[in-house]
Amino acid sequence: MTTAARAEDICASPPPQLVTMSGAINRALRDAMTADPDVVVFGEDVGTLGGVFRVTDGISRDFGQDRCFDTPLAEAGIVGFAVGMAMAGFRPVIEMQFDAFAYPAFEQIASHVAKMRNRTAGRINLPIVIRIPFAGGIGGVEHHCDSSEAYYAHTPGLKVVTPATVEDSYSLLREAINDPDPVVFMEPKRLYWSKGSIESVLAATKFASFGRAAVRREGTDVTLVAYGPSVEVALQAALAAEESGWSVEVVDLRTLVPLDDETMVASVRKTGRCVVVQEAQGFAGVGAEIAARVQERAFHSLHAPVLRVAGLDIPYPPPKLEHLHLPDVERVLDAIARLQWDDDTDTRFLPSDSKGGAT
């Protein structure tokens, strides 16, 4: 080995260290608690056990049981307690163990958490973060998988965040904890074990602001708008569509409230077509709001109606039928094929068996 080669080996940067999404959220909680002694973490089994998904593993041990502690199995009580703590100057970060477990607390969330600032004419803020593991893909039984984001997004006074990457799970949670308003932080259960690097965001001096979508993949023919667990499905579909000649852009919303109209609409104006992908049932869902906004703001750029690929309008199915309910690559490709490509002079988009045809 030459001297130059040895020097190159010594100077080479080590590969970035990978962490899981659950690990990134754990790190975000730890860093926030270190930075601000008023940040407290509590919920069912978050202390000794470290949470069902081990997101809070070791935090009670390292920060003490007065900073991270277990609560009774009483979701309404957990949220009500957080309201009182926030009014007293704390920054509670609470965990609803599963998405459908949070429904008993919805009255507290809608009537008090979301309305306190308005009710007091801005004199009282509630800097509460409500962490909710949500959506499917893990084969959970009844009440353990649901897509409840529309309830919170429809409730004025709440910010709603849905990270799709390991890096975003860290940076968006740090921003949520720093925010003066209540934030519903929806964590895709199926992505807890995905891996990525958070080194770049750890080195950043500030976090990306809420309401900034991310273009995960550039394209020119059609825009896929997705959030949370559906982003990975959209990216896989974009890759598969490339084989059929479609150039697909993927927009990750990152936050549902506030919603980044600018990035979303700019993408659709460029591509002229849009498909919204969500796991939640289609009727009256977040995808319907996205479709309405795109058609209101980019109507003259559209070559076809905005389509939605969503879960079925049924109660969440049992584990063995889950795959029939969740949007997959095939359903997204089918929607792309139905975007009236026959009006395009480019022969790539003429009806063909590979694209399902146009009628």
One-letter amino acid of 204:
A
- Show which residues are catalytic: 144
What pLDDT does 16 receive?
Answer: 80
Dihedral, CA atoms, 177, 285, 329, 295, nearest 10 degrees?
-100
Look-up: residue for tokens 């900073």?
67
What pLDDT does 137 receive?
Answer: 87
349, two tokens = 């988009």
Name residues whose C-beta falls within 8 Å of residue 112's C-beta, 6 or more positions apart in sequence: 79, 80, 83
Average pLDDT, stretch 93-98?
Answer: 96
List, for residues 11-23, the tens digit of each pLDDT value: 566 778 999 999 9
Helix (H) or strand (E) segment spanning residue 134? strand 129-134
Angle between helices 329-337 and 230-242 (to 10 degrees): 60
What pLDDT does 14 receive?
Answer: 72
What pLDDT does 350 receive?
Answer: 36
Using DSSP bridges, classify how beta strands 68-70 and 39-43 pair: parallel, antiparallel or unpaired. parallel
What pLDDT does 346 receive?
Answer: 44
Q: Is 330 exposed, middle or buried (0-12, 13-18, 19+ CB in 10 A)?
A: exposed
What pLDDT does 153 receive?
Answer: 97
List, for residues 130-152, the tens digit of each pLDDT value: 999 999 988 888 888 899 999 99
Q: Nearest to residue 40, comparing CAs of 72, 81, 74?
A: 81
What pLDDT does 205 receive?
Answer: 72
pLDDT at 182 over 50: yes
The pLDDT-based confidence of 354 (bands split at 50, 70, 90) is very low
54, two tokens = 């081990």
Give the range among 43-47, 80-84, 109-113, 204-208 with minimum mean pLDDT: 204-208
The pLDDT-based confidence of 348 (bands split at 50, 70, 90) is very low
Do residues 324 and 279 lie in contact, with contact meaning Cβ atoms separated by under 8 Å? no
Cα angle at 98 between 92 and 100, to 5 degrees? Answer: 110
The pLDDT-based confidence of 1 (bands split at 50, 70, 90) is low
Do residues 158 and 107 lie in contact, with contact meaning Cβ atoms separated by under 8 Å? no
10 versus 320: the higher-pLDDT residue is 320
Domains of the chain (ranges; CATH) run 19-203 (3.40.50.970), 214-355 (3.40.50.920)
pLDDT at 330 over 80: yes
Question: Around Cβ 121, how many Cβ atoms within 10 Å?
Answer: 7
